[in-house]
Amino acid sequence: MNGAVERINDLNTIFFPKLGLKFHIDPTAFHIGNVAIQWYGIIITIGLILALVYCMPKMKRFGLDADRTIDAVIGGVLGGIVGARVYYVIWKWDDYQRDTLGETLKAMINTRNGGLAIYGGLIGAVLVGFIICKIRKVKVLPMLDITVIGFLIGQGIGRWGNFVNQEAFGTNTDNFLGMTGGRIQDTILAQTQIGGDMYNNGLATMLWEKPVHPCFLYESVWCLLGFVVLAFWSKRRKYDGQLLLMYMAWYGAERFVVEGLRTDSLMLGNMRVSQALSAIIFVTSVILQIIFFFRRRRDPESFVLYASTEESRLLIEEGRRKRMGMTGSDAMIMADDEDDDVGILPPEDDDDDDDVGILPPEDDDDEEVTEAVEEKAEEVTEAVEEKAEEVTEAVEEKAEEVTEAVEEKAEEVTEAVEEKAEEVISEAEDKYEQLAEAVDEKLTGGRGKSSHNKKKRRK
């Protein structure tokens, strides 16, 4: 059989035939007494911790006070875990229903072997986080913007728990990334039998002898790439909620494709629930982004980031002063009295260079300050160029007006001078004639006139 692999009897063996990679991984990492600690839970915890490590220092960039948001973060984590499990159990109720209520509850809360649905986790986290944000007076959209970046970190790392458990795999493939394993082969053999999940979902032709799509790997790489994209864009976002919409489109597109490859989809009739939900999320996100894009072009002033508002700065400053040991009333008095009432300039002995998030945390001060300076320099340069063009045009227009006025005045003066000169010459000639006649009369005793007239006639 083309691309066939041998039967793997060791359940803990994972094999990538075309890559020549083979791993032996026991899903149980270690035991504490009689309690088995699974790699699945450890990996998810690592993803959660890394998400928190990245997101918490970035709260100021989004105009949020870390002390206020920590409550929403903790509530969101707990809500996400409960939501992910409840969502999965609802769609797989037959697998968890037992003879007694106690046994049913025990099966429901046992998550060490998997059984968490990401969309249930997202719904639970957002719902609980939203309630706590309202109680703690934390703006929801900026909080969601930073939260979805953390989601991508957690999802990108958490998917490797599926790798250890050999679950959430796809259909048969000849792809060079195709994988197989002892548990994968056993699952295919069991579920393609009459009454099995794969058989009931139209996947009875699945072959254990062939590799399957490593769906965990596709989603992990896509989510980590999405983290890079959203982290980069977070410094350039145009309005609160933009990163949330970008996440919805990014993850929705990937999940729609990958869900179509999986063999363990939650089904509603013949419809894959997560695939249908992904399509709705993607389309909704794209439509909203287009609407907000054109609205912002028409009215940019209505899309002001919360981090740029006075409310955000005052709340962060109040939180900073409380951490310094001030009471709430003292913090408000100091906020009113001091020159630095919004914490733009921290005290000299404060190691935090930017307590309100106008400048980024120390780990990326240089980069963000440089970007801010470059953006401001570009704005100033554009403004100066526009003003210079306006001044130049005004000067040229005024120069043309002055030149025309001078030319008109010069013409008038020239004409006046010429007329005056003619009058003076005419008067001078008359005077000369009168004087000459008088002289002639004196010299000739009355004959000068006729003598002068003769001279004139001779002339």
Over residues 99-115, the pLDDT tens digits come to 888 888 888 887 766 67
Give the helix/strand (H/E) hosting 454: helix 448-458
Give the helix/strand (H/E) hosting 244: helix 242-259
Closest CA to 87 of 252, 266, 254, 258: 266
Q: Which of 215-219, 306-310, 350-354, 404-408 has the lowest mean pLDDT?
A: 350-354
> Does 351 score more than 70 pLDDT?
no
Please classify residue 425 by burial: count the beta carbons closer than 10 Å to its beta carbon, then call 0-12 exposed, 13-18 middle and 19+ buried. exposed
Name the E strands within 80-202.
180-181
How many Cα neighbours within 13 Å face the side chain of 169?
31
In angstroms, the first-to-last Cα distance of the chain is: 137
Write down the pLDDT at residue 327: 56
Please classify residue 427 by burial: count the beta carbons closer than 10 Å to its beta carbon, then call 0-12 exposed, 13-18 middle and 19+ buried. exposed
How many Cα neighbours within 13 Å face the side chain of 351?
1
> Does 251 score more than 50 pLDDT?
yes
**Per-residue pLDDT averaged across 413-424, rounded?**
76
Write down the pLDDT at residue 353: 43
Please state the φ and ψ torsions of residue 231, each to the nearest 5 degrees.
-65, -40
Please state the φ and ψ torsions of residue 14, each to the nearest 5 degrees.
-120, 130
Q: Could you say which DSSP state residue 179 is in?
A: B
**Per-residue pLDDT averaged across 342-348, rounded?**
42
The residue extents of the domains of the chain are 13-64+139-302, 309-359, 365-458
Any idea what the Cα angle at residue 253 is, between residues 249 and 254, rounded to 5°?
125
Over residues 290-299, the pLDDT tens digits come to 999 999 999 9
> Does 179 score more than 90 pLDDT?
yes
Average pLDDT across the chain, whole number: 83
Give the helix/strand (H/E) hosting 198: helix 197-200
Write down the pLDDT at residue 257: 96
- The string of DSSP letters for 311-370 reads HHHHHHHHHHHHHTT--HHHHHHHHHHSS-TTSSS--TT-S-S-TTSSS--GGGHHHHHH
Write down the pLDDT at residue 373: 62
Any idea what the Cα angle at residue 345 is, between residues 339 and 349, rounded to 5°?
105
Write down the pLDDT at residue 354: 44
Q: How confident is the model at residue 187 (pLDDT cuts 50, 70, 90)?
A: very high
**Cβ contact 77:125 at 8 Å:** yes
Cβ atoms within 10 Å of 445's Cβ, excluding its own: 8
Q: How far apart are CA 291 and CA 427, in angstroms?
A: 87
Over residues 9-65, the pLDDT tens digits come to 999 999 999 999 999 999 999 999 988 899 998 999 999 999 999 999 999 999 999
**Per-residue pLDDT averaged across 335-339, rounded?**
46
